[in-house]
């Protein structure tokens, strides 16, 4: 498992963890739900926690939908 920041660089998405977080959300929006989960699982534990707890504060409906989907798949 890798830091989201490093994964963003590997996937050529940008240089910060939010670039990778957005890629996960875009995957879900585009119907790539398996990819969404696979990307989530590539992150280290701390970035997973940050993604689920911090990134979704005051988020739109689609962001909450992604969070709920991921949680339902990993439990």
Better-predicted residue by pLDDT, 26 or 62: 26
| DSSP track, the chain | -B-HHHHHHHTTS-SSHHHHHHHHHHHHHTT-HHHHHHHHHHB-HHHHHHHHHTTTTT--HHHHHHHHHHHHHH-
Please check whether residue 1 is in contact with residue 10, taking contact to mean a CB–CB distance below 8 angstroms.
no
Look at residue 58 in the predicted model and tell me its pLDDT.
63
Look at residue 29 in the predicted model and tell me its pLDDT.
93
Q: Residue 8's domain spans which residues?
A: 4-74
pTM: 0.86
Please check whether residue 1 is in contact with residue 43, taking contact to mean a CB–CB distance below 8 angstroms.
yes
Q: How many domains, in total, are found in the chain?
A: 1
Region 25-33: what's the mean pLDDT? Answer: 95
Region 42-60: what's the mean pLDDT? Answer: 85
What pLDDT digit, counting tens, does each position of 7-17 carry? 999 999 999 99
């Amino acid at each position: 498992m890798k830091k989201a920041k490093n994964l963003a660089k590997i996937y050529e998405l940008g240089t910060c963890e939010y670039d990778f977080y957005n890629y996960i959300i875009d995957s879900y929006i585009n119907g790539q739900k398996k990819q969404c989960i696979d990307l989530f699982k590539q992150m280290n534990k701390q970035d997973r926690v940050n993604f689920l707890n911090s990134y979704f504060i005051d988020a739109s409906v689609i962001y909450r939908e992604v969070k709920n989907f991921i949680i339902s798949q990993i439990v």
